[in-house]
Structure 1
Amino acid sequence: MPDTATPNLAGAHAMAPRLPRRPFAGAAPWLLSAPALLLFCAMLLVPLLLTGLLSLHAFDGTRGVLPAMTAANYLEILGDSYYHEIFLRTAGMALAVTVLAVVFGVPETLILSRMRSPWRGLFLIVILGPLLISVVVRTLGWAILMGNNGLINETLQWLGLVDAPVKLVFTQTGVIIALTHVMMPFMVISVWASLQKLDPQVEQAGQAFGASPFTVFRRVILPQILPGILSGSIIVFALSASAFATPAILGGRRLKVVATAAYDEFLNTLNWPLGAAIAVLLLIANVIVIVGCNRLVERRFRQVFEA
C-alpha cells in the first residue's frame, strides 16, 4: 500500500505560487548609487572636463581666450625650463613632506596606540585638533614662529647654536616644515586605522618565541600597518603637491610651485588656458607618481616579507 503520510514534494512544489520576477532587480544597486554618482560627476568630473577643454584653447593678450583649439599651451609648458624647475621643485617638496610624515607619523601613532585612557584620547585630540583650524591660520602661525625675530630663531640664539637668525621664511625648508605639520594628521589617521585591526596577541606571541622588538616590528607589525602607511603617503603626497596656501604664504613670489604658478596665470596674466594646462599636467603627474609608487612599494615589500 502506498504511504499516504509521505507528502508529495514534487506536487507541492509544482502547486506553489511563483513569485513575480522583479524587472529592475539587477538595476537596484545603480539606482541606489545614482544620487551620489550624479553628485560626483557634477562636482568633480564636469569641472575637470571643462578645465581640460579650456586648456586646449588659444589665448591672445589683447583678445583673451580664443575659440581656436590648440596644443600650444602644453607644448609651452613641456618645452620651457622655467616650468620644468617648478614641477621638479613641487615634486621634491611633496616627496620630502611625505618622507617626514612617515618618519614622524608612524612612531607617533605607535606610541599613541600604546597609551592608556584618558591620555590616549587627550593626545589624539591634540594631534588631530589642527584639522579644525584653517590652513591659512596655521601657516601664518608658522610664519610668526620662523621669522627673524620669531620664537625659533630667538631660542637658537639664546642657546648659542647660531649667531645670526636663520632664514626660514621664503625658503623651501620653511615650506616643508610647515607642510609637514599640516599633513601629519592625515598620516596619523591612516596608520591609526590600520593599527585598530592589529591583534596584540600576535605581537605577544612573537615576543614569547624570543623575537627581538625590532624583529617583531619588521615581521609582524609593519606588514599589517603597511596599507595604512601607503594610504597615508598617497594622501600626503597628493595634498602636498597641490598645496597652495602654505607655499604662497611662506614661499612668497619667488619660490613658486605648480599651484601658485597656475594661480598667477589665472589671476595675474589672465591666461586661463595656460593656467588650466598647468593644472591638468599637475593632475596627470600626481596620478602617475601615486599609482607607480604604490605598485612599486607593494611589490618590493611583498618580495621582502615572502623571502
Structure 2
Amino acid sequence: MRNREQQRADAELDALVASAAVTAAGGSLPLPAAHVQAGRGTAFARVRVGRLGWFALLVPALVVLLLVFVLPLAFLASNSLHPGGSMGRIGPAWTLANYIRFLGDPFYLGILVDTLVVGLVVVAICAVIGYPVAYFLARTHSRWRGALTFAVLAPMLISVVVRNLGWLPVLGNSGLVELDLALHRARE
C-alpha cells in the first residue's frame, strides 16, 4: 500500500513540475486530478491548452529553421537569378540565363537526371528495407525489441567523422574497391 501511495505522490509531483514549466511558456499540461477535482477516479484530468500557448512553444524552433534553412535558400535562389560577374561577384540585373544555360546543356542535364535517378533508387531501397523493419519493431512484443531498436539506431550514435573514416579501407586508394578494379583490369 505504501509503495502505491509513493508512486502516486511522485507522479503528481512530476506532473506539477512539468505543468509549471509549460505554463510558464504560455501552454499547459495535464494536471493531477487532486488539483482539478478532488475525489475522482482518474489520475489526471486534461486542462485546456490555448492555441497561442502551443504556438509560443513553436516560435524558437521556427526562428532557428528560418535562420539556418529558409534564409540561406532564399539568398541562393535570389543569386541564381543574377548574372555572374568577375571574381565571383554577382551582377545587379535580373536574368533567367543561368537556368536556360543549365537546362540547355546536355552535360548538366545528364547530371541532373543521374542525380534524380540515384535519389529515387536510394529512396526505394531504403523504403523496401526500412519499412518491414519499422513495422516489425512497432508491432512486436518480443524481448528482443530493445536490442533490435538499438541495432537500428546505433549507427546514428557514431560521429559523422568516424563514419566517414570508416569508409577509407573500402573506398581509399588502396582499399577493397580499388583492389577489385585492379584485379578486373589485370584480367582484361
For Structure 1 versus Structure 2, the TM-score category normalised by the shorter chain is: 0.5 to 0.7
Alpha carbons of 1:103 and 1:76: their partners in 2 closer, same or farther (altered >3 Å)? Answer: same
Give distance in 1, aligned partners of 2:128 and 2:67: 38
Q: Provide the rounded CA distance (Å) in 1 between the counterparts of 2:173 and 2:78.
A: 45
Distance 1:61 1:27 in 2: 51
1:57–1:70 contact (8 Å) kept in structure 2: yes
2:89 aligned with 1:28: no
Query: Partners of 1:47 and 1:152 in 2: how far apart?
Result: 37
Contiguous gaps of at least 5 residues in structure 1 = 1-25, 158-162, 167-307
TM-score, scaled to structure 1: 0.36
Q: Deviations over 1:116-169 (max 9, x none)?
A: 22x221221121111122344324423423568656899xx9xxxxx9369xxx
Instruction: Give the deviation of 1:29 after TM superposition.
Output: 5.6
CA distance in 2, matches of 1:150, 1:123: 31
Determine if the alignment matches structure 1 residue 127 to structure 2 residue 152. yes
Q: Post-superposition shift, 1:88?
A: 0.9
Q: Once the two structures are aligned, what percentage of the paired residues are identical?
A: 35
**AA aligned opposite 1:164:** L
Determine if the alignment matches structure 1 residue 164 to structure 2 residue 183: yes
Instruction: Give the distance between the partners of 1:67 and 1:138, measured in 2 at CA.
Output: 43
Q: What amino acid sits opposite 2:151 in the alignment?
A: V
Correspondence 1:268-287 to 2 at 5 A? none
Matches within 5 A, 1:97-112: 97-112=122-137
Q: Hey, what's the Cα distance between the residues in 2 that align with 1:152 and 1:104? A: 24
Matches within 5 A, 1:80-229: 80-112=105-137, 113-114=139-140, 116-117=142-143, 119-145=144-170, 150=175, 164=183
AA aligned opposite 1:100: I
Using a 3 Å threshold, how does the CA distance of structure 1 residues 80 and 64 change in structure 2: closer, same or farther? same
Q: Aligned partner of 1:145: which letter?
A: V
| Root mean square deviation, CA, Å | 3.6
Give the partner amino acid of 1:97.
V
Partners of 1:148 and 1:165 within 8 A in 2 = no
Partner AA of 1:93 in structure 2: V
Match of 1:74 among 74, 88, 99: 99
Q: Aligned pair in 2 of structure 1 residues 80, 137: CA closer, same or farther (>3 Å)?
A: farther
Structure 1 residue 30, shift from structure 2 partner: 8.6
- CA distance in 2 between counterparts of 1:63 and 1:147 reads 33
Seen in structure 2, the aligned counterparts of structure 1 residues 153 and 122 have a Cα distance that, compared at 3 Å, is: farther
Gaps of 5+ in 2: 1-49
Partners of 1:153 and 1:165 within 8 A in 2: no
Contact 1:56 1:73 in 2 (8 A): yes
> Is 1:46 paired with 2:71?
yes
| Structure 2 counterpart of 1:61, from 86, 90, 104 | 86
Total equivalences in the alignment: 134
Cα distance between partner residues in 2 of 1:73 and 1:149: 40
